Structure 1
Amino acid sequence: MVPHLVTALTGPINELEQRILDSMPAIERWFRLEWMEHTPPFYSSVDIRNAGFKLAPVDTNLFPGGWNNLTPQMLPLAVQSAMAAIEKICPEAKNLLLIPENHTRNTFYLSNVAQLQRIFNMAGLNVRIGSINPEVKEPTEIQLPTGEKVLLEPVIRSKRRLGLKDFDPCTILLNNDLSAGAPGILEDLHEQYLLPPLHAGWSVRRKSNHFRAYEELSKRFGKLLGIDPWLINPMFNKCGEVDFASGTGLDCLQTNVDALLTKVRRKYKEYGINEKPFVIVKADNGTYGMGIMTVRDVKDLEALNRKSKNKMGVIKDGQTVHDVIIQEGVLTNERMNEGVAEPVVYMMDRYVVGGFYRVHAERGTDENLNAPGSSFVPLAFAESSHLPQVGMRGGAAVPNRFYMYGVIARLAMVAASYELEATDPDAEIYE
């Protein structure tokens, strides 16, 4: 099934797509050389926005949920990629312990856990689900809307290992983004492989670090393609020590928002774009679409009401927001039925395995779509996964569009690998 896009296959984005298609051998070699030097994240998903005049990632998740949105046709690729990823890390792996988020009542999220269990089971591993939620004191079976069941079991920690009753895994896969910090039960596991590592969690990770790495890569990649890197890069600023509750630090926010809006206006003028620029202000370590607002004019910040401040001040697990990233807003030019749509690309190891469109009928083209009310339509990397139809002009074929999405998503994945290297507490630092 190829989704029916209302607006996607027209406009200046075709020139960028054509450049990417024409440069395919050089692009694939570029990625190959990057992966010789750097380790890809174990798995990841990237939210992409197609403005019709630029295409850019706006968020990269290193503990992706939503695997249940991938179609059965995408599963073989996910299984092969899982095999390749595990083989590199622990070729003799037999048992895998999957640790999910603590919200055990969200059956939609648990359908994603069931899908991950299925993928790694088909990759040749015994997979069980271990909860680090203190409320889970005994094996708990949860019925899912699909008719499936998920068994959550309490984890058991020995001096150096983590497991379940009668289950000793060599590999532990986290599907928990550690927003509230890394619990002690996951630390000092020197005999087991923990994937992704603890420093990939939001207690350490910052979006500004990720987009700084991405910005540098987009310059190199832009040179390879002979394009302005702005066409694939959302500009950003960062603001630390903001306190939405007390109102302190908001002057820093206003100054940075104003500066970024000015830079975006300049770019729009350069390219003859008649849209109103906007920025997205979001928690630098935010997740789940929380702590996000759209700002179209710096005056909007002066008029922030208490409700908006409260919404911005606290994110998942009750974490208080002090650092924010101010990101150039990228319009989404794609619509599906009556809803605004953005592609989300899923990767395992270095491979694109599929994805979906996040669609929201009640949100505008300049708003965050990761919000209650969004729905998901599979991104059909049809016709032999995501291979482009070489020889066809840019914009002429949907698989070509998806190949372009896969290239931008992989670029964000390389940025994530740089980011993880920079924050690795065990990395040797050379002066």
Structure 2
Amino acid sequence: MVPHLITALTGPINELEQRVLESMPAIERWFRLEWMEHTPPFYSSVDLRNAGFKLAPVDTNLFPGGFNNLTQEMLPLAVQAAMAAIEKICPEAKNLLLVPEAKNRGSFYLSNVATLMRIFTMAGLNVRLGSLDESIKEPTTITLPDATTLTLEPLLRQRSRLGLKDFDPCTILLNDDLSAGVPDLLTHLHEQYLLPPLHAGWANRRKSQHFKAYEEVSKKFAKLLGMDPWLIYPQSVAVDGLDFNTGAGLDALQSQVDAVLTKTRRKYKEYGIQEKPFVVVKPDAGTHGLGIMTIRDAKDLDALAPRAREKLAGLKSVPALSQVLVQEGVVTHERMHDAVAEPVVYMMDRYVVGGFYRVHAERAEDENLNAPGSSFVPLAFAHSSHLPAPGEKPGASAPNRFYMYGVIGRLAMLAASYELETTDPEAEDYA
């Protein structure tokens, strides 16, 4: 199943698709060489926006939920990728401790946890759940709507190792993005693999660092294909020192918004795009889709302070309030049952394992779709036998379109590996 584009089946995105398909051997070799030099995140998901004239990632999650949105047909790919990832990290691994979000007891999220447990169990591991929730004092069983049960157990810290009662894991997999901070339980572990590393969490990570790395990756990739990197990169710049209550830093923010809009107008003129550009202002740390604002004119920032106070009132992260990312807005011209849709690509290790369309009937094409009211439709990555067909007309083949989505998703994943290397506190050149 593939949504239709409301744009004509011509233009830069189809030229890009054709070029990607024609360059498939070179692309796969390029990725292979990159992965010889860089370590992919253990797992990740990437939100894409397909404007018809541009295809770009707008968010990369290193603690992805939503694995329950993958179809049954996708699970073998995820299991194989999990096996490959674990084999590289800890070949003798027997026990895996999965640590979910501490306070999230929603059935949708817990279904994601259940799917992760199934994937890693099928990969040959003993999987148990350890909760960061201090109210969990003894094993607690939760029944999901489909009658699946999960048992949350209290974490036990013994010297430099983390585990459960009678359970000593080689590997600890976090599914909590640490936006509330890093618990002491997770620090200074020895001879255990903590995945992803602590500096991948939102207590330390910044979107601006990720998109700086993605800009570098997109330029390398564009050089390989002889194309304009703008077609796959959303211009992005960080603004620090903001205080929406006092108005401090708003002049700098207005200047950057104007600069990104100006550059985007120039690109639209170059490609003959008859749309009004916009920017998205979002907190530089992860906020689960909260506090994101769409701005079409820098003058709109005059009224931003009171709106921002209202939107950001529930955000407790100080960096989220003081630093934002100004990003070129990318509309989504994809529709699913007449509702706005965007593809989300899921990866484990260096492999695409599936994905889905995030669909929101109440949001516009220039708005954030990661909001209450969204629904999910699986991507046709499920049909793994449907390999890309380079000879087909661009835009006409779902496997071709999904291959391109997978390429852009992997570029964002590669950027995340660059980012994590740069921000690794144990790296010699870390600043």
What TM-score, normalized by structure 2, do the two folds share?
Answer: 0.96
- Alpha carbons 1:293, 1:312 under 8 Å: kept: no
3-state SS, counterpart of residue 381 of structure 2: coil
Question: Cα distance, 1:338 vs. partner?
Answer: 2.0
What residue in structure 2 maps to residue 23 of structure 1? 23
What residue in structure 1 maps to residue 273 of structure 2? 273
* Structure 2 letter corresponding to 1:104: N
Question: Cα distance, 1:316 vs. partner?
Answer: 6.3
- Alpha carbons 2:44, 2:348 under 8 Å: kept: yes
What residue in structure 2 maps to residue 384 of structure 1? 384
- Alpha carbons 2:285, 2:320 under 8 Å: kept: no
User: CA 1:316/1:83 → structure 2, altered by over 3 Å: closer, same or farther?
Assistant: farther
Matched, 1:189 2:189: yes
* Structure 2 letter corresponding to 1:164: L
Matches within 5 A, 1:17-416: 17-304=17-304, 306-312=306-312, 314-315=314-315, 321-384=321-384, 387-416=387-416
3-state SS, counterpart of residue 321 of structure 1: helix
Question: Cα distance, 1:103 vs. partner?
Answer: 2.0
- Alpha carbons 1:288, 1:316 under 8 Å: kept: no
Matched, 1:11 2:27: no
User: CA 1:316/1:130 → structure 2, altered by over 3 Å: closer, same or farther?
Assistant: farther
- Alpha carbons 2:343, 2:358 under 8 Å: kept: yes
Mean alpha-carbon deviation: is it higher for 313-322 or for 139-148?
313-322
- Alpha carbons 2:73, 2:383 under 8 Å: kept: no
- Alpha carbons 2:283, 2:320 under 8 Å: kept: no
- Alpha carbons 1:55, 1:232 under 8 Å: kept: yes
- Alpha carbons 1:136, 1:154 under 8 Å: kept: yes
- Alpha carbons 1:96, 1:128 under 8 Å: kept: yes
Question: Cα distance, 1:246 vs. partner?
Answer: 2.6
Question: Cα distance, 1:64 vs. partner?
Answer: 0.3
* Structure 1 letter corresponding to 2:115: Q
* Structure 2 letter corresponding to 1:80: Q
Question: Cα distance, 1:241 vs. partner?
Answer: 1.1
CA-to-partner distance for each residue in 1:123-151, whole Å, 9 max, x for gaps? 00000010011122221111212221111
CA-to-partner distance for each residue in 1:256-310, whole Å, 9 max, x for gaps? 1111111111111111111010000001112310121111111221113635423
Cα distance in 2 for partners of 1:386, 1:91 equals 32
Mean alpha-carbon deviation: is it higher for 299-308 or for 40-49?
299-308
* Structure 1 letter corresponding to 2:133: N
What TM-score, normalized by structure 1, do the two folds share?
Answer: 0.96
* Structure 2 letter corresponding to 1:252: A
Q: Percent identity?
A: 71
Task: State the aligned residue count.
Answer: 430
Q: What are the ranges of 5 or more consecutive residues in structure 1 without an aligned counterpart?
A: none
| Moved segments of 4+, more than 4 Å | 316-320
Q: What are the ranges of 5 or more consecutive residues in structure 2 without an aligned counterpart?
A: none
Cα distance in 1 for partners of 2:145, 2:265 equals 47
* Structure 2 letter corresponding to 1:21: L
Question: Cα distance, 1:11 vs. partner?
Answer: 3.0
- Alpha carbons 1:98, 1:173 under 8 Å: kept: yes
3-state SS, counterpart of residue 4 of structure 2: coil
Cα distance in 2 for partners of 1:427, 1:294 equals 37
Mean alpha-carbon deviation: is it higher for 9-18 or for 340-349?
9-18
User: CA 1:430/1:262 → structure 2, altered by over 3 Å: closer, same or farther?
Assistant: closer
User: CA 1:313/1:266 → structure 2, altered by over 3 Å: closer, same or farther?
Assistant: farther
Question: Cα distance, 1:105 vs. partner?
Answer: 2.3
